[in-house]
Amino acid sequence: MRDQAEALRLKMLRAQGGLARSIAVVSGKGGVGKSNFSTNFAYALQNCGKKVIIVDMDIGMGNIHILLGASPAYSLKDYVSGQKTLQEVITMDTEGLAFISGGSGLDSVLDWSEEMFNRLLEAFGQLQQEYDFILFDMGAGATQSSIDLIIAVDEVIVISTTEPTSITDAYSMMKFIYLKDPEKRFHLVSNRVAKQEEGLEAARRLQFAMTKFLNKETTILGFLPEDPAVHTSVVAQKPFLLYYPDAPVSRKMKTIATAFAGITRELETSREQSFLGRLKSLFSRGRG
């Protein structure tokens, strides 16, 4: 009965075109720029008139709030553990960007129980109605809960640098996700690029490997240059897009976001294919 009501509700929302695009920002190797990408990409999407929320999935080691210069009182953990409501853990930074902090200080990495996942599920249901984009900034490496989430989202943005180690790790990560969900949409971004040709070459190599070995298409969103504005902005705890709007990295980010916002998501045909539907089937499958 509950399922039927849910199905109907989702159907209505989809008919109105009302559900958010859910996107996980991932990498193979850590430290390649996911969190900086997520925060600035979110601003750039917001500048395109979109309503965006970032969820920091780097539980216990989150740094989105640091990059935004905010001190949230609560984190995602307080919500999933049932201590706070969803509204209480959503923070607005000074520029009006909504985010949910992952919490910091290594306050115990979550051991997700079924109840926690159910709360997470509930939260995403609500967020999907309120926002155009839900961006999940993933931590480095793959934990079971992060993999579950990555599998549930509609789209994945894969960040890599131009170093061969970063490229091969990015490929391994994509292959892993692809084998669990062949329908996933992959978007590639090369970061810290010294020369334009190098950035394109790195993304093309990844794209080529995906086509050749997995017969899977991916889109190249573009590349972001190595730019000292990133470091200065991190130190100032301000997104580079706002702090240095005309820096090369900011200009490129705007181009990437504009292109991304323009991609229309094909409406999926069944609720099983929806983000919530997929989350549900994941969690009902042998959890607890």
Ligand X SMILES: Nc1ncnc2c1ncn2[C@@H]1O[C@H](COP(=O)(O)OP(=O)(O)OP(=O)(O)O)[C@@H](O)[C@H]1O
35 near Mg ion, rule: CB under 5 A: yes
Measure the CA–CA gap between 89 and 73, rounded to whole angstroms: 8
DSSP labels for 240-277? HHHHSTTSHHHHHHHHHHHHHHHPPPPPPSSGGGSHHH
Per-residue b or e along 252-274, where b marks 16 or more CB atoms closer than 10 Å to that residue's CB: bbbebbeebbeeeeeebeebeeb
Q: Binding segment for ligand X among 34-42, 111-119, 170-178, 260-268 (CB under 6 A)? A: 34-42
35 near ligand X, rule: CB under 6 A: yes
Tokens read off for 148:
């579950």
Residue 36 binds which one of ligand X, Mg ion, none, with CB within 5 to 8 A depending on kind? ligand X
- Subset of 38-67 contacting ligand X (CB under 6 A): 58
Number of residues that make up the chain: 288
Count of chain residues binding ligand X (CB under 6 A) = 20
173 near ligand X, rule: CB under 6 A: no
Q: Binding segment for Mg ion among 30-38, 150-158, 170-178, 218-226 (CB under 5 A)? A: 30-38
- Minimum CB–partner distance for residue 168 and ligand X (Å): 16
Q: Binding segment for ligand X among 2-10, 93-101, 124-132, 223-231 (CB under 6 A)? A: 223-231
Helix (H, G, I), strand (E, B) or coil at 114: helix
- Minimum CB–partner distance for residue 191 and ligand X (Å): 5
Q: Binding segment for Mg ion among 28-36, 104-112, 235-243, 271-279 (CB under 5 A)? A: 28-36
- Minimum CB–partner distance for residue 203 and Mg ion (Å): 20
| Pairing status of strand 90-92 against strand 98-100 | antiparallel
Q: Calculate the dihedral angle through the C-alpha atoms of 127, 272, 274, 176, rounding to the nearest 10 degrees.
A: 110
Measure the CA–CA gap between 231 and 77, rounded to whole angstroms: 29
> Which residue, 19 or 25, has its beta carbon nearer to ligand X?
25
> Which residue, 34 or 184, has its beta carbon nearer to ligand X?
34
Cβ-contact 36, 30 below 8 angstroms: no
Residue 45 binds which one of Mg ion, ligand X, none, with CB within 5 to 8 A depending on kind? none
Q: Which residues bind ligand X (CB under 6 A)?
A: 27, 30-36, 58, 139-140, 191-192, 224, 226-227, 230-231, 234, 249
